[in-house]
Amino acid sequence: MSSAEDDLYQQVVLEHKRAPRNFGHLAHPTHQARGTNPSCGDRIAVELELQGEQVRDVAFSGQGCAICMASTSMMTEAIKGRDVAHAQALQQHFRAVLTGEEDPDEAPLGKLVALAGVNRYPNRIKCALLGWHALMHAIAGQDGAATTETPGTGE
Ligand code: ZN
């Protein structure tokens, strides 16, 4: 990684840590999940307002290290107003980049690519993925609820 990329990484993390986006609670969350990362002490919760397949709104709360807070903050920006399928695809690419399975230059991460530098710090990868884990748990709850609302599944 060049020093320019390193500077960007530091800037983005510090900026989101200082002013996390979508931090707080939703008035009417339809889905939510908590995430804890005992190895670092990060504890966060993600709230979603899903309408059909769309993430109408998202918020997170809790406390974590700079990388956890920055990653979760950027996650909320990246998925708000987007489809659930888009959020799931982003999670897979983000995870693959951090674990070294995917080249950050080829992954469609958008702004999240600024966090690709975390892959140099194996003990911080869990911090960066925590918010995404909570998001996937929250969405999985939606799948369970959606089944009861789908007419004519023909069980
Ligand atoms: Zn952490």
**Residue ranges of domains in the chain, CATH in brackets:** 3-147 (3.90.1010.10)
Nearest residue to 116 via CA among 65, 60, 74 = 74
Which parts of the chain sit beneath pLDDT 70?
Answer: 1-5, 142-155
**How remote is the CA of residue 40 from the centroid of ligand 1, in Å?**
5
76, 134 Cβ separation under 8 angstroms: no
Q: In the block, which residue shows the tokens 């800037």? A: 11
Q: What is the pLDDT of residue 148?
A: 32
Q: What is the pLDDT of residue 121?
A: 87
pTM: 0.87
**How remote is the CA of residue 146 from the centroid of ligand 1, in Å?**
33
Sheet holding 42-51, edge to edge: 31-37, 42-51, 54-63
Q: What is the pLDDT of residue 147?
A: 35
Which residues keep their CB under 5 angstroms from ion ligand 1? Answer: 40, 42, 65, 68, 127
**How remote is the CA of residue 129 from the centroid of ligand 1, in Å?**
9
What's the number of CA atoms in the CB half-sphere (13 Å) around residue 127? 23
**How remote is the CA of residue 20 from the centroid of ligand 1, in Å?**
15
